[in-house]
Amino acid sequence: MMALGPIMLGLEGLALTAEERELLRHPQVGGVILFARNYQSPEQVAALTEAIHALRQPRLLVAVDHEGGRVQRFREGFTRLPAVRQLGEVYDQAPHRARQLARATGWLMAAELRSVGVDFSFAPVLDLDHGVSSIIGDRAFHHAPEVVADLAHAYRSGMQKAGMEAVGKHFPGHGGIAADSHLELPVDPRSYEELAATDLLAFERMIHYGLAALMPAHVVYPQVDDRPAGFSVRWLKTILRQHLEFQGAIFSDDLDMAGAGQAGAPAERAHAALAAGCDMALACNDRRAAIAILEGLPQTLDPVREVRLIRMHGRGRTHLTRLRRNPVWQQAMRLVQSYDAHPLLDMDT
């Protein structure tokens, strides 16, 4: 029996290599994040997750970015999910209908991922669309925090019914600046009071609804702290844990992103994220950096972190073929297709 470590790694291809099997047994590893490069078919990815889960007890967490719209890693063989903005557009005309569709979409997304052994998706996005951020854009439900919280609550309830916990992102809000944290370090000049009255509201409401996990943004809010939120003790421990009373898991955004560069070399980034309050740090796309993190990070035991992470394991599983025969799946798919009015855009790495 080995505790879940605080590092989540990316994989190179469609099956585990001998090196990856060794890396995933490292005591500092606690999970794997999958991308389009790791996906060929439902059968292939199910075999991959089974191989990952068989390596250790408790089993490693397996995650994926599967929001819908531009960000859906598994395509062929999975239902195409619309961008959640379309739910916000329905909400403007028919709030009850939009909540029904959000529950169905959350359930469908989670049920299909659970059928191939994925524990959770990094979803839903809780950012507001202020009309300036191309990296957020239609990934946001709406521009109004009350609507975002209402739809995200329904979406999460659907996910939970399918056996999956939700991860809200990107705390405390990535939608207010144009810069893309994948490419540079965004700076949001707003005060805490301005953020609290807008972007933070959706996160606060979802926390009170019992949200299991959050992902902070690689964004600096200089009127609050000079460090990006994901490396900030003030944001994660003081504001999120103490003021907002969040008890769930905190996953860093990808440490390979340019927005994380301020924190130093790879091992320094991971150490800074964990010291600031993250329970798990993501090293997604740079194998050399991931190895440097595993070799340079001091080992610490944290029973509270372990409890938070164990909660993220998926519950229940139905094979995808059997799932598709389920009238609930068929009805959910019809509901999703009923509001899918736009072509899927490709944004993947």
Residue 23 lies inside a defined structural domain of this protein: no
What is the spatial distance between Cα 149 and Cα 147, in angstroms, rounded to a whole number? 5
In this structure, what are the phi and psi dihedrals at residue 302, rounded to the nearest 5 degrees?
A: -140, 95
- Output the pLDDT for position 346: 40
What is the spatial distance between Cα 331 and Cα 182, in angstroms, rounded to a whole number? 37
Based on the residue annotation, tell me whether 253 is a catalytic residue of this protein: yes
Q: Residue 14 has which token pair?
A: 């469609």
What is the spatial distance between Cα 310 and Cα 321, in angstroms, rounded to a whole number? 28
pLDDT tens digits in sequence order for the chain, 349 residues long: 678 999 999 999 999 999 999 999 999 999 999 999 999 999 999 999 999 999 999 999 999 999 999 999 999 999 999 999 999 999 999 999 999 999 999 999 999 999 999 999 999 999 999 998 888 999 999 999 999 999 999 999 999 999 999 999 999 999 988 876 666 788 999 999 999 999 999 999 999 999 999 999 989 999 999 999 999 999 999 999 999 999 999 999 888 755 455 656 778 889 999 999 999 999 988 899 899 999 988 888 889 999 999 999 999 988 888 999 999 999 999 999 999 875 444 433 3
- Output the pLDDT for position 180: 67
On the CB side of 241, CA atoms within 13 Å amount to: 13
Based on the residue annotation, tell me whether 182 is a catalytic residue of this protein: yes
Residue 178 lies inside a defined structural domain of this protein: yes
Residue 50 lies inside a defined structural domain of this protein: no
Number of domains in the chain: 1
Q: Are the C-beta atoms of residues 317 and 114 closer than 8 Å to each other?
A: yes
* Domain interval for residue 254: 81-338
Spell out a b/e string for 249-273, using b for 16 or more CB atoms within 10 Å of the CB, else e. Answer: bbbbbbbbbebbeebeebbbbbbbb
Q: Model's pTM, two decimal places?
A: 0.94
Catalytic residue among 65, 253, 254, 340: 253
Which residues are within 8 A (CB) of 337 and not within 5 positions of it... i.e. 6 or more apart?
Answer: none
CB atoms within 10 A of CB 317: 16
- Output the pLDDT for position 1: 67
- Output the pLDDT for position 348: 37
Q: Are strands 66-68 and 71-72 parallel, antiparallel or unpaired?
A: antiparallel
Residue 235 lies inside a defined structural domain of this protein: yes
**Structure-derived torsion over alpha carbons of residues 341, 346, 218, 29, reported in degrees to the nearest 10:** 110
Q: Which of 325, 127, 137 is nearest to 216 (CA)?
A: 127
Residue 172 lies inside a defined structural domain of this protein: yes
Q: What is the CATH number of the domain that holds 146?
A: 3.20.20.300
Residue 14 lies inside a defined structural domain of this protein: no
Residue 30 lies inside a defined structural domain of this protein: no
Helices (H) and strands (E) in the chain, counts: 13, 10
Distances (CA, A) of 42 to 63, 116, 159, 272, 299: 15, 6, 19, 37, 36
- Output the pLDDT for position 344: 41
Catalytic residue among 130, 143, 182, 286: 182
Residue 65 lies inside a defined structural domain of this protein: no
